[in-house]
Structure 1
Amino acid sequence: MAAKEDAPLAALRALRAHLIKGKPVEVEGEDLVFRDASGSELRRLPKHSPTAYHSKKLDKSYDLLAVYTCFKHADLSFSDYVLKCREDKAAMVSTVDKKELVAFLKGDIDSSPQILDASGKPTADSGEKDRKTTTKKTRDPEDEARAAKKRRLAQEKENHRHKHGESHKTPQELKQDEQMKRITDRECVNRTRTTVLDAHKTKFDNVVKTLELVNAETKEKIEKASKASALMATTTARKEQLPLHRLVKEKILGTPIIVVPAGFSDLFTMLNAKDFLEDGVYVSNMQKKADGHRKQQSMMITHEEDGHVYTFKIVDTVNRFRDKDWRSVVGVIVSGQSWQFKGWKWKFPLEVFKKVCGVYIYNQGSQLNPEIKQWDVKVLMIHPDKRHLDKVAAKEFWRYLFAFIKHKLQ
């Protein structure tokens, strides 16, 4: 190990030592502040200063803020962790790096191959060496004294036996034998292991009553638990038996809303969404405009599913939405751009798709937007030269939407 530890490694070890002690860490402006239990500042480091912990996949190290944010939100799910990273404006630690980093910060492990020194080499060996040295240095002086005394007595005993033979006892052993003899001479045998098993009574009425009481209490608890389980099963069965059209009518205030993209260059807009959703036919925006159709602010469409007709409201803007409107939003046709969700009640697309059914439709041959792969949306494809496949895509859209609605409302 070098005489002076390099800064990234020192920063990582300083943060780890502070977290292991359970002391608070706060983010203040551009700094990460280490405090003691009373809240007094102990140390301050730039939050974006690099650490010695490197990514497995990318040739880069994580900064202090990313490392601390990973530790702080270690128990969250991946999607919630991503949201917290965006809120804290921190770099995200990848899933393959997260587990080992958290284990290192908690003190479960003392080193990692991903911790590199200034020369780019792992510090695992040096970490092991430091740990052994520290353990040796911090050993209790009293323990050392006891160990030395034990070694000295053992050596004296060995020398005595070597000199006088194995059968000859040391003065200390003779003294111990004398003390034990005085104790055993005064012993009076009261009960033995045989007599202690003898019972003066042949009836155990008290024991039987206790067992009966315990059995009665256990039986009562089992009966109560069975009744509760039966009631819960009945309630669940009733919920599952409730038809979809009843769920939509009773739990959605007003008309269910589907939001479509607002850009004219998007595949689906207010001009052609009705043709696709109602009739399963795709007509381009250019064709609709050439035919004299104009964009409406909103429109109603109907769809029949399992013998019941459902009505949906189609819009492409949410600027004037109130809480009642947001509760009615059930689906969105995704354009592939995150700015589509600007002005929405939920800040990030990941939050949107927890509440609303997302569907992305694209033309075969066109490039799939990379962001789509990170979102929880249904991806459908239509073929520019095979219009009969439009109905297949439309049918799949409705199947996925109704499955999402049923799961959400139940």
Structure 2
Amino acid sequence: MASTDTAPPDALLLLRASVANKLPPILAPTDSLDTASELAFPPLPPLTSAPAVIPLSTLTRFIKDNAAVDLRSIFFAWQERESTITEYIASAQQLGVTHLGFIERLELVTFVEGGQEESDHIRPMAANFLASKSGQQLQMQQAAMQSQQLAGKVRQTDPRLLEIYAGERVVLNRDVMLRGIKPTDFSHVRKQAEDFISRLRSSSQGAKPTTLPTRPAAPHRPPPPPHHHQLQKKPRRQDPIILLSPSASSLLTMANIKSFLEDGVFVSPSTAIEAPPNFLRVSRLLPGIHPTIPIRFDVVDSAEKFKPEYWDKVVAVFTTGQEWQFKGYKWSNPVELFREVKGFYVGWDGDQVAESVKRWGTGVNVLQVERGRRFRDRELCEKFWEAVERQLKAKGWWR
């Protein structure tokens, strides 16, 4: 008879071990996730010495909205790790499983692939279990398995060696190290900033002119007529404009540009359900222009209704390398256009950059989107905003 202190294998650890050993689990009794009821794992020493079968309804240690996520939803998220977030959510709703958010799915995939050991979304093992004999053995075995994955050639199972591996410190990547062990609430900083800005505005509006020393009264004379420039109010700086390519082959369109520029997430434009608008407004805080106030940008994909003064506000032009796009622009010559305005060419990673873009010189920034690796989208988004911030500084924006 089995010992009473032996705990059932953890589903997340089994899934992680099966991926590390390239022994994927099998759905049972059918191979379809919507009709299967169990997930069968092969023997995965040192976690298990015999096949393990876990019901798909088993609740795991992965937490979403303060509730445990079942194994069926976890396994489905792992299967759909290469899908876009829009495709994944649509498939999850159709299957009837719990769908994870973008960051949640990213942390699950990173954990299963062995990229990190802890997560805010994964509940640690129970303290009483880790304190028991079986818990200590499992902890040492996990460290041994991790060391084997890193070394790629260590296969010994000597108890003394396992104990040494258990004392090793795992080197984590910077994203995990900077996350911390618990979330920090910075809402008080926002409140202090709002109070400071409110006081600053009220003091500037209610400030009285400084009283200068009085001079002897002069004979009364009618005041001179005001100058023309005194009658005119200082024009208010209008929002800068981002101009997209109207080409059907463009990867960034009015259907997905807002999620890319504001959230750093690339969504395929072909997945858009509603018709895209012809005008959008996005906001971005650029500390080099103003440290506290975000700048609003108008986004359009056509210059057909542009007034002549609108071209002074254009700070970025997206292109697919087709010169017909510039017909009707203030600068119809691409070389001249990209000397005045920053250009951006967005293509798939690994594809050839259009020859026309290469001829147009350094005025066009090339951004390459990686297929199936959505966590790289944020890097491309930051590169875009850095170039726009330099463009605004060169134009003397808000100076």
- Structure with more of its chain in helix, by fraction: 1
Between 1 and 2, higher relative CO (CA 8 Å, sep ≥ 6) is seen in 2
Fold equivalence (TM over 0.5):
no
Q: TM-score range by the shorter chain?
A: 0.3 to 0.5
TM-score normalized with structure 2 length = 0.38
Q: Which has the larger radius of gyration?
A: 1
